[in-house]
A = this chain, B = another copy of it.
Amino acid sequence: MKNIIIASTSTLSGQKYLDYLLPTLELHFQNCETILFIPYARPSGISHQGYTDMVQLAFAKINKKVVGLHEFDDATEAIRNASGIFTGGGNTFVLVSQLHKNNLMNVLAETIKNGTPYLGTSAGSVICGLTMQTTNDMPIVYPSSFQTLGVISFNLNAHYLDPDTSSKHMGETRETRIKEFHAYNSAPVLGLREGSWLDVKGDKIILKGEFTARLFKQNQTPEELETGTDLSFIK
């Protein structure tokens, strides 16, 4: 049975890394002593080890050990044998490139579908969708494919932002960008605001946190979904 936390962001403004999620994670990873961390997204270009050290500090607060995927000779086996997995945020193009290059996309999807508890934040959440095509990140490397894990049946936009009606900036709003996605693609897109997360247990996908989420479907008016809603109808 799938057991996944898909969070819009790792960190809330004025808080420490993962702090707002720790009570949820304590329960989510209750049967894991050690969590396998996938550091590939490298925010601000931090090293794999530097990123893993940062995550270790946060998880120490709930008495969990963290080991980085880069420390294993056989990454496929490391994923298969993990008792819990966390993929952190950073650049989605870098993350997806590395997962494809190391032939890990399918084994990670299978492992999650088989029930290994998984946590994603930001880019680590975006990869839970069908493709990475609704990321906000810059294409700083060229991935061999945009296909991602597909452990949920729609795409995600993390750090979802409402249009700023007072802004004089003429760059596209997030909503306009997602509308452009739907000129070429039919997958629904869920805009997940910072502080929201999805709690996936088997076939149920419950929206958590205090905010609504914004659902974009091709050729339809976007709609706001209340926290607590089961989103498993989105396909």
| A residues apposed to B, CB below 8 Å | 9-14, 42-45, 90-91, 93-94, 132-142, 145-146, 158-159, 161, 168-172, 176-185, 194
Contacts and interface: CB of A to CB of B under 8 A. Distances in A.
20 contacts: A12-B170, A13-B170, A42-B183, A43-B172, A44-B176, A44-B180, A45-B180, A45-B182, A132-B139, A135-B138, A135-B139, A136-B172, A137-B177, A140-B184, A141-B184, A142-B145, A142-B146, A158-B171, A161-B169, A171-B194
A171 B102 CA distance: 27
A141 B145 CA distance: 11
Contacts of A176: 43-44
- By Cβ-Cβ distance, the 3 closest A-B pairs, closest first, are A45-B183, A13-B168, A159-B171
Given A159-B169, A194-B169, A194-B170, A181 B42 contact: no
A138 B12 contact: no
Contacts of A171: 9, 136, 158-159, 161, 194
Given A133-B141, A135-B139, 6 more contacts: A44-B176, A90-B180, A136-B172, A138-B177, A138-B180, A140-B183
Contacts of A9: 170-171
A103 to B, nearest CB: 19
B180 A170 contact: no
A227 B184 CA distance: 39
Nearest to A96: B139
A181 B138 contact: yes
B43 A180 contact: yes
A182 B45 CA distance: 8
Contacts of A139: 93, 132-133, 135, 139, 146
